[in-house]
Amino acid sequence: MSILDDILEGVLEDLGDRMVAVPLDDLKERAGRQDPALDPMPAFRADGVSVIAEVKRASPSKGSLADIKDPAALAVDYADGGAAAISVLTERRRFSGSLDDLKAVRAQVDCPVLRKDFITTSYQLWEARAAGADMALLIVAALDQPALESLIERARSIGLTPLVEVHDEEEVERAVAAGADLVGVNARNLKTLEVDRSTFSRLAPLIPESVVKVAESGVRDTKDVIEYARAGAQVVLVGETLVTGGNPRSTVADLVAAGSHPALQHRW
């Protein structure tokens, strides 16, 4: 069993419990009470490189990363530093996250919020919207093609912007065929959990110009932002560097400033 398969097994078990506890109709009613979802795409398509800053307590590769007692306060620091969007890990077993974290963040920031989880059902999309998410992660490796296409369509129909994650050439082809207009290239190998920063530069040329390209994993500092930008990234998603660095607001500000360098303007 692969690491992804193991994670999905736990996710589906937890999902089954939630589906019993909260009927889908209740979620839809809660989603209907939310303010209209925020659209991240204008910021992502603007000049320079946008930063998605992540609330991340743990990971399968590193274990515990940070004791985040107040995810909302951390998200406010990110937003004050100039983050274009906030990503919140909601998977419980491997990432120590929850939908409560997302709800807390949504209540305190005005920028788009991404639910980052292992989404395989429309129920999870409704959960995301009911919690106040504006975006939802869809991992190509976790979905067959009909499910991927269906979830992209459903996400959009309820106001969510889908961030479609890929890891190799075949997944890029599948994401594009499914109509994704926001594609994240994850530099972390799901089989080994190792990060290969060359993954983005290898896959980015295969993604159409009209699609916004997000570099996920491997951003350690401003140099990495610039290197990803030169390879075609319009957005970077940063987690571990921010939660372990000690000063998240200034770190985000530094990454945003690097992405705003004049040499990186008007590239799309």
Identified catalytic residue from 91, 171, 216, 240: 216
Is there a catalytic annotation at residue 198?
A: no
pTM above 0.85, yes or no: yes
Q: Determine whether 56 is an active site residue.
A: yes
Candidates 89, 69, 86, 68; CA nearest to 78 is 86
- Catalytic residue, from 54, 91, 127, 171: name it: 54
Residue 216 falls in the annotated catalytic set = yes
Nearest C-alpha neighbor of 65 from the set 244, 249, 245: 244
What's the pLDDT score for residue 268? 46
Out of 50, 56, 122, 240, which one is annotated catalytic?
56
* Annotated active-site residue in 59, 96, 103, 116: 116
3-264 CATH fold:
TIM Barrel (3.20.20)
What pLDDT sits at residue 266? 47
DSSP codes joined into one string, the chain: --HHHHHHHHHHHHHHHHHHHS-HHHHHHHHHTSPPPP--HHHHHSSS-EEEEEE-SEETTTEE----S-HHHHHHHHHHTT-SEEEEE--STTT---HHHHHHHHTT--S-EEEES---SHHHHHHHHHTT-SEEEEEGGGS-HHHHHHHHHHHHHTTPEEEEEE-SHHHHHHHHHTT-SEEEEE-B-TTT--B-THHHHHHGGGS-TTSEEEEES---SHHHHHHHHHTT-SEEEE-HHHHHSS-HHHHHHHHHHHHT-GGGSS--
d(CA 258, CA 228): 11
Is residue 217 part of the annotated active site? The answer reads yes
- Selecting among 165, 171, 213, 240, the annotated active-site residue is 165
- Cα dihedral angle (113, 119, 122, 123), rounded to 10 degrees? -80
Is 149 tagged catalytic? no
Residue 264's pLDDT is what? 61
Does 116 participate in catalysis according to the annotation?
yes
| Interatomic CA distance for residues 125 and 113, integer angstroms | 13
Residue 86: per-residue pLDDT: 98
Rounded distance, CA 146 to CA 123, Å?
16
Tens of each residue's pLDDT in the chain, 268 residues: 688 999 999 999 999 999 999 999 999 999 999 999 999 999 999 999 999 999 999 988 888 898 899 999 999 999 999 999 999 999 999 999 999 999 999 999 999 999 999 999 999 999 999 999 999 999 999 999 999 999 999 999 999 999 999 999 999 999 999 999 999 999 988 878 888 989 999 999 999 999 999 999 889 999 999 999 999 999 999 988 998 888 999 999 999 999 987 666 544 4
Model pLDDT for residues 104-160, shown as the tens digit of each residue: 999 999 999 999 999 999 999 999 999 999 999 999 999 999 999 999 999 999 999
Catalytic residue among 50, 87, 186, 240: 186
Q: How far is CA 98 from CA 19, 59, 103, 127, 204, in A?
A: 15, 14, 9, 11, 31
Q: Is 103 one of the catalytic residues?
A: no
